[in-house]
Amino acid sequence: MKFNKCAEKVNASLKEGSQLGIRGTPGFFLGKTDLSDPNKIMATEKIVGAQPYAKFKQAIDKILNEKVPAK
């Protein structure tokens, strides 16, 4: 019974990742949310595969430098 619950969770994660364009491991989504509404995602970057530090830094810098629309 315990195996089935774990398998269901793994399969659900695989399906979600596939729908988001992740085709293997590792896969990362980096993002920034609105502080007034943590459910509102303002910027994201996807990194697929094992990447060097420079790739992560570039993605993080891009997210941090994106302009926030005026309210």
pLDDT in tens, 15-51: 988 888 888 889 888 988 888 888 888 878 999 889 9
Question: 40 phi and psi, to 5 degrees?
Answer: -90, 115
pTM of the entire predicted model: 0.65
The pLDDT confidence band at residue 8, using thresholds 50, 70 and 90, is: very high
Name the residue ranges covered by the structural domains of the chain.
Answer: 23-71
Q: Distance between alpha carbon 13 and the CA centroid of its chain, in Å?
A: 13
